[in-house]
Amino acid sequence: MIPGPTPVPEKVLQALSKHPIGHRSKEFQKLVESTTKNLQWLHQTQNDVLTITGSGTAAMEAGIINTLSRGDKVICGENGKFGERWVKVAKEFGLEVIKIDSEWGTPLNPKQFKKILEEDKQKEIKAVILTHSETSTGVINDLETISSFIREHKTALSIIDCVTSLGACNVPVDEWQLDIVASGSQKGYMIPPGLSFISISQKAWEASEKSNLPKFYLDLKSYRKSLLNNSNPYTPAVNLVFALDEALKMMREEGLNNIFMRHNKHKLAMSNAIKALKLKLYADEKYLSPSITAIKTEEMDAEKFRKIIKDKFDILLAGGQDHLKGKIFRVGHLGYVNDRDIITVISAISNTLLYLGKISTEEAGQALLVASKYLEIN
C-alpha cells in the first residue's frame, strides 16, 4: 500500500511472463499500435503519446530538454519533493527559474501563477513546470485553473508531472490544452516500473524546433518518427509493453469515470477513517490526492509505526521524505486497489493503534464503520 510500485493484476503478470519477441517484428508493431491508441484514450487526447523505457523522471526531463533552451525563463511550482526535483532539473539545464512555492502539505496558489504570467508582457516565460499530484505530501494541485492561466499567456508551455494522477483522476489533456504530460508505468497503469509516457501537443512540437539543450536517448523527435511505423528508436522493454497492453485493456473495460470514482471513494474512505482514529491528515483536506493519503503521527515515530504494521500484517506503508521522515506515514491507494484492500489497511492501522494503547476498541470499530459508508458496503 505504497504510491508505487503499485499492485499488479494477475492478468498483467501473466502477460509480463511471455517470451520476448523482436522489437522490429510485425507482432510488436501491432502491440505498439494497440497501446498507443489506448494511451491516447487514457490521456483524453489526439496528441502524440510516446512511450520511453525509463522512469517518470525520464519523461519529465525529456519534456524539458526537448522544448526549451539554455537561459529560458520558466516558472516551477514547488510544494513537495517532486516539485523540488523539477526545480533542480531546470537549473541543471541552465534555465532561469522563477519559483512559486507553498508549504509542504498545502496546494500551490493558482493566483500566484496568474499574477506572474500576466506581468510577463514581453513573453519571456517559456514554460510552467509543476506536479499535479504531489506524492510526498498527499496534495493535489489545481491543475485545471493553473492551466487556464498558462493558456491565456499564449507563449508559455505547460510541462506537467502527472505521474500519480494519470489513471487516478480526470486529466483531460485536450480540454485543458496541456502541452507536455508525463507519467510512469508503476503508478495508475498497474504494471511494474520501467516505462514512462509523455503526451506532446502541436505547440510543444513547434517549440522543439528551437530547443538547443543536449539530448540523444531522450530526443523525442526520434520517438515520434519511429511511432509513424509503430516502432521505437531503441530497444524497448518488450515485456513491459506486453503488460501495458493488458493493463490498458483492463482500464478500458472498467471505463474512465469508474476508475476516477473508485479512486475518489478510496480517498474518502481512507481520509475519514483516519480522522475517526484520532490521527491528523498531513495535507489540506480540500486538496487531498486520490492516489495517496499522508498521515501525521505526532506523538509516535512514524518509522516505528510502519515497522509494526509490516511485521504484524505484512503490509508496507510509505514513510515521510526529507524533513518529514519519522513524522508522517503515507498510504497509497493507487492503481489496482479494491475495497477489500482499503478495509484491510484501515484494520491494520486500527489494530496497531490499539496495540499501542492510542485508541479504544470502540474507536477502532468506528473507523471501519466510517470507511464502509464511503465504500458503500452494507
DSSP bridge partners of 78:
101
Q: Can you give the pLDDT at residue 373?
A: 94
Question: Domain check: are 220 and 301 in the same one?
Answer: no
Q: How far is CA 270 from CA 29, 107, 275, 284, in A?
A: 42, 20, 9, 15
Question: Domain check: are 280 and 239 in the same one?
Answer: no
Question: Domain check: are 278 and 242 in the same one?
Answer: no
Q: Can you give the pLDDT at residue 378?
A: 41
CB 270, CB 374: distance < 8 Å: no
Residue ranges making up the domain that contains 65: 10-254
Question: Domain check: are 236 and 335 in the same one?
Answer: no
Q: Does 91 fall in a domain? A: yes
CATH of the domain at 186: 3.40.640.10
Please say which residue of 201, 219, 254 terminates a domain. 254
Question: What is the per-residue pLDDT across 251-290, written as a single tens digit (0 to 9) for each?
Answer: 999 999 999 999 999 999 999 999 999 999 999 899 999 9
Question: Domain check: are 247 and 260 in the same one?
Answer: no
Q: Does 82 fall in a domain? A: yes
Question: Domain check: are 232 and 266 in the same one?
Answer: no
Please tell me the distance from the alpha carbon of residue 159 to that of residue 146, in angstroms, as a whole number: 12
Q: Can you give the pLDDT at residue 299?
A: 84
Q: Does 3 fall in a domain? A: no
Residues of the chain with pLDDT under 50: 378
Please tell me the distance from the alpha carbon of residue 90 to that of residue 97, in angstroms, as a whole number: 7
Question: Domain check: are 149 and 103 in the same one?
Answer: yes
What interhelical angle do 302-313 and 339-355 show, nearest 10? 110
Q: Can you give the pLDDT at residue 57?
A: 97
Question: Domain check: are 227 and 267 in the same one?
Answer: no
Question: Domain check: are 215 and 332 in the same one?
Answer: no
Please tell me the distance from the alpha carbon of residue 169 to that of residue 262, in angstroms, as a whole number: 9
- In terms of Cα–Cα distance, which of 373, 339, 358 is closest to 279? 358
Q: Does 260 fall in a domain? A: yes
Q: Does 150 fall in a domain? A: yes
Q: Does 244 fall in a domain? A: yes
Q: Which three cell numbers mark 21?
A: 519477441
Q: Does 2 fall in a domain? A: no
Q: What is the pTM of this model?
A: 0.96
CATH of the domain at 292: 3.90.1150.10
Question: Domain check: are 243 and 309 in the same one?
Answer: no
Please say which residue of 204, 238, 254 terminates a domain. 254
CA angle (166 as vertex; 53, 289 as ends), nearest 5: 125
Contacts of 165 (CB under 8 A, 6+ apart): 132, 133, 140, 143, 171, 183, 188, 289, 290, 291
Q: Is 295 helix (H, G, I), strand (E, B) or coil?
A: strand
Question: Domain check: are 22 and 147 in the same one?
Answer: yes
Q: Does 4 fall in a domain? A: no
| Strands 157-161, 180-184: pairing kind | parallel
Please say which residue of 215, 238, 254 terminates a domain. 254
Query: How many structural domains comprise the chain?
Result: 2
Question: Domain check: are 243 and 322 in the same one?
Answer: no
